[in-house]
Every structure is written in C-alpha cells, then in structure tokens.
C-alpha cells in the first residue's frame, strides 16, 4: 500500500469542508426566508413555505463553487477555522450583504458563494491576474486597483501621516484625496458610494520591498468603516497579521478596542461609525 500524502489529504479535506460550508449557506438562506412568518401564518401558508424550502434552488454561483472546491486540488490560502469567521458573520447578518474583498484568487468563488444574493466585489492590483481568474469564473465582479505605496515605505508613512491634515480622521476621505498617500483615491465610484457590511483585506502583496503592501488597504478600510451612515458596525477582516506591517497598521487604524476575534493569522474587527472630531489626529 502506498503511503498517503498528508498535504494532498489536507487539501482534499479543506475542499470538501468548503463545499459543505457553501451548502450550509444556501440552506441557511432558505431557512431565514421562511422563518419570519412560519410561526404566525395559517396552516395553508405554512405548507406553502415548506414546499418552497423543499424546492429551494441554490444559485448558479453556489453550485459552481461546490463543484470547484469538491474536485480541485487548489484551495484557499486561509485555513478552515479562519474562513469560518467570515462565514459566521455573513450568516449572522441574516440578509444579502455588501462584501468588499481586497484580493482576487483561489478563494474568490467561495466568498461570492457565501453571499449569493448580495453584492461581492473584488479589488486586485494585477490586471493580468484579473483576466486569468475571470476566465474561469466570469460571474465574479472585480476591478483593478493602482496602489501608490511600496512596502519599504511602511514605517515612514506610519510616522508621517499624523502631520498630514489630509490623512487626519477628522478630514479623512478617499475619493480624489491625492494628498494623503494612504488613501485609495482612484477606486471605481461603486466602492465609494456603497456602505460595505464586510471588508476583507487579504491583498495586495506585502512580502517584498517593492510590493504595494497593505498599508493603504487598511487605512482606506478604516475610513470607509468610520464613515458609515447606515445602522450597525462594519466587519473588517485582516489576514496575515503575523507580519509586522499588517499588525502595526491594524493597531493604528482599526484599533485594538475594535478587535473582537483572532483565529490563526486572521483578525476580525467590528468598527462603529465615528463622529467627526476636528481635533483628532489619530484613529484609536
């Protein structure tokens, strides 16, 4: 008998586990859709609701995702326990959500399938990679992003942003803010005009000096979350917090007081809307 490859087994298990989560997602959606009236509706309507659940059709993207992850050896970078944090939040919201994801890759079909009737938008720095991913998954929605930073600048940007009024939390804005280098000033209007329920930061690259680093993504996510006008918090997830820059920028802009969960290399923040404080020069 041949020895089993533990890495192959791990990938196979993770793929099946993700497929199971996606299956759970569309079952939960069907349950939520019927739960609001099931206890107060007359019997014929309850029977109708039961038939609706039995005949519930998962979305095309969910079926594609189940097939993909159940059969592919390519799995998401995040671990199952890390993935489940975002999945549980989407489940707890109980409605189609607005989900912004920094990064496009092997996990993108999974994120979109967790939010099948909501808005899931991906931001990616590499135009060629966008074309490659969308060729296999054309239903995904993605935009390319031009970053103005390099990882080698991380320490200097962190030290100097408090002396730049355009970066102050009291004046923080993104669209057209070319003065503050940490602000993503050239995103599509959809990104600025949408109040995102969840923001996942798992890009851009941040492991060599010339890479953009995630400084601007973290800062911009904080600005979006603090400027929320709708009720409730913005859930911000930051991956790779074992790295120096991700951790420093999270503590500076997302704030330890907003950290609600930490699993593996993932931090989950719940950031409430913030009133404008015209004297504040720091976010935390």
Residue 60 confidence (pLDDT): 72
The two three-digit tokens of residue 283, written as one number? 């976010």
d(CA 221, CA 101): 10
CB 161 within 8 A of CB 53: no
Give the pLDDT of residue 12: 45
- Residue 282: per-residue pLDDT: 86
Is residue 268 a contact partner of residue 260, using CB atoms and an 8 Å limit?
A: yes
What is the C-alpha separation between 182 and 188, in angstroms, rounded? Answer: 17
- pLDDT by residue for the chain (284 residues), tens only, comes to 444 444 444 554 455 455 556 555 544 444 444 444 433 344 444 444 434 333 345 677 666 666 555 556 766 789 989 999 999 999 999 999 999 999 999 899 999 999 999 999 999 999 999 999 999 899 999 999 999 999 999 999 999 998 999 999 988 899 999 999 999 999 999 999 999 999 999 999 999 999 999 999 999 999 999 999 999 999 999 999 999 999 999 999 999 999 999 999 999 999 999 887 657 778 99
Q: Which two tokens stand for residue 226?
A: 């603090």
Looking at residue 18, what is its pLDDT? 56
Which residue in this structure is represented by tokens 């009133």?
275
As a whole number of angstroms, the distance between CA 109 and CA 112 comes to 5
CB atoms within 10 A of CB 203: 23
Q: What is the C-alpha to C-alpha distance for residues 13 and 98, in angstroms, rounded to an integer?
A: 29
- Looking at residue 51, its pLDDT comes to 40
pLDDT, position 24: 54
């Amino acid at each position: 008998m041949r020895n089993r490859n533990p890495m192959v087994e791990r990938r196979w298990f993770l793929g099946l586990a993700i497929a199971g989560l996606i299956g759970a997602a569309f079952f939960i959606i069907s349950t939520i859709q019927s739960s609001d009236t099931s206890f107060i509706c007359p019997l014929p309507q309850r029977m109708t609701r039961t038939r609706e659940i039995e005949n519930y059709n998962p979305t095309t993207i969910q079926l594609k995702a189940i097939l993909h992850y159940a059969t592919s050896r390519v799995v998401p970078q995040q671990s199952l326990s890390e993935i489940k944090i975002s999945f549980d939040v989407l489940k707890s919201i109980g409605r189609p959500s607005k989900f912004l994801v920094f990064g496009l890759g092997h996990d993108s079909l999974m994120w979109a399938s967790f939010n099948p009737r909501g808005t899931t938008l991906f931001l990616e720095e590499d135009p060629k990679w966008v074309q490659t991913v969308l060729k296999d998954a054309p239903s995904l929605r993605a935009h390319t992003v031009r970053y103005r930073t390099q990882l080698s600048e991380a320490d200097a940007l962190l030290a100097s942003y408090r002396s730049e009024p355009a970066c102050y939390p009291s004046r923080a804005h993104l669209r057209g803010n070319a003065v503050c280098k940490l602000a993503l000033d050239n995103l599509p209007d959809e990104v600025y005009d949408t109040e995102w329920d969840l923001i996942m930061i798992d890009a851009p690259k941040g492991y060599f000096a010339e890479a953009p680093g995630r400084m601007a993504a973290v800062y911009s996510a904080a600005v979006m979350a603090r400027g929320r006008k709708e009720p409730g918090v913005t859930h911000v997830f930051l991956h790779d917090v074992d790295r120096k820059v991700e951790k420093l920028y999270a503590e500076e802009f997302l704030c330890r007081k907003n950290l609600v969960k930490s699993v593996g290399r993932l931090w989950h923040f719940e950031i409430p809307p913030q009133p404008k404080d015209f004297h504040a020069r720091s976010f935390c």
